[in-house]
């Protein structure tokens, strides 16, 4: 008799982190180069700079939760060992980058290091969608050796545009209730620290409601609150940022939280409250079971 099928349920926090890591970049950040040339036409290949990968890792995980190490091979190629702290464990992905054809040896090594990092990051989902872009031939200047026009990105490769004119109620119907942290029930001898309360204490410009005045301030405060929740062992570092980012993308906002404005701010606070309620409830369940 065959063994019954076993369903493995994935950690929702890790799923949120994976979704945030693999989210598409802004179209302006995606570059193209010729992969194959035929006269004045070229097959365009999309790619991103290594710095975008570093920014994505910082934003989703925090600077202290990822590491990279490089080994240089005799043929000029480079091995990247990219380590990410996920769910309390260090996970390593490895890949090899090739040197460029530039005349300067230093430039060739830099290109190999960047290529190795990008290839290793793809194994964590970062930029993997670029490999699914449809093949597109575009005009090419053989004299300047560059593309003269760029291909169009398909819908799956573009972050959803955030609504520009929708009222707050239509985007986040629970927003009017978000600014009342006293409505949260106390848990385990400690009154929950809501992001609204943290916002009131944080330095920097504030709006009339005490909420972050822009996406940059929102991102900074969420990073601080994310670190506090992690220090309380309620979640892994980066889980809060990943949850809010994923919720925002599903609601139609860009994957880059620093661009959020208007209705996106109270929406983010609502997502934080939802996340905190979930993790504190899970902690209570574990304590009750114990």
* Span 150-181, pLDDT tens digits: 888 888 988 876 555 444 333 344 444 444 44
This prediction has a pTM of: 0.58
The confidence score (pLDDT) of residue 254 equals 77
pLDDT value of position 193: 45
pLDDT for 97: 94
Closest C-alpha among 169, 188, 166 to residue 178: 169
Q: In terms of pLDDT, which residue wins out, 60 or 252?
A: 60
Q: How confident is the model at residue 146 (pLDDT cuts 50, 70, 90)?
A: confident
pLDDT of residue 41: 92
- As a whole number of angstroms, the distance between CA 242 and CA 27 comes to 21
CATH 3.30.200 correct for 27-157: no
- What rounded mean pLDDT belongs to the chain? 79
Domain range summary for the chain, segments of one domain joined by +: 27-157, 168-289
pLDDT in tens, 104-142: 888 889 999 999 999 999 999 999 999 999 988 999 998
């Amino acid at each position: 008799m065959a063994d019954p099928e076993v369903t493995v349920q994935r950690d929702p926090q890790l799923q949120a982190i994976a979704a945030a890591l693999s989210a598409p970049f802004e179209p302006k950040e995606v570059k193209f180069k010729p992969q194959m040339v035929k006269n004045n036409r070229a097959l365009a290949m999309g790619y991103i700079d290594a710095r975008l990968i570093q920014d994505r890792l910082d934003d989703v995980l925090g600077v202290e939760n990822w590491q990279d190490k490089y080994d240089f091979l005799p043929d000029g190629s480079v091995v990247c060992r990219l380590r990410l702290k996920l769910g309390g464990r260090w996970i390593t992905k490895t890949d090899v980058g090739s040197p460029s054809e530039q005349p300067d040896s230093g430039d060739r090594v830099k290109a190999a290091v960047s290529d190795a990092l990008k290839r290793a990051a793809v194994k964590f989902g970062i930029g993997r969608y670029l490999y699914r872009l449809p093949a597109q031939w575009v005009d090419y200047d053989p004299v300047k050796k560059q593309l003269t026009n760029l291909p169009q990105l398909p819908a799956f490769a573009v972050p959803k545009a955030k609504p520009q004119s929708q009222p707050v109620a239509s985007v986040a119907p629970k927003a009017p209730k978000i600014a009342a942290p006293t409505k949260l029930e106390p848990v385990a001898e400690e009154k929950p620290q809501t992001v609204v309360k943290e916002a009131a204490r944080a330095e920097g410009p504030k709006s009339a409601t005490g909420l972050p005045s822009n996406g940059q301030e929102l991102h900074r405060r969420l990073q601080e609150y994310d670190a506090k929740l992690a220090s309380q062992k309620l979640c892994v570092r980066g889980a809060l940022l990943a949850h809010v980012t994923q919720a925002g993308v599903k609601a139609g906002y860009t994957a880059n939280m620093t661009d959020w404005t208007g209705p996106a701010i109270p929406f983010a606070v609502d997502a934080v409250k939802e996340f905190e309620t979930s993790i504190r409830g899970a902690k209570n369940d574990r304590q009750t079971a114990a």
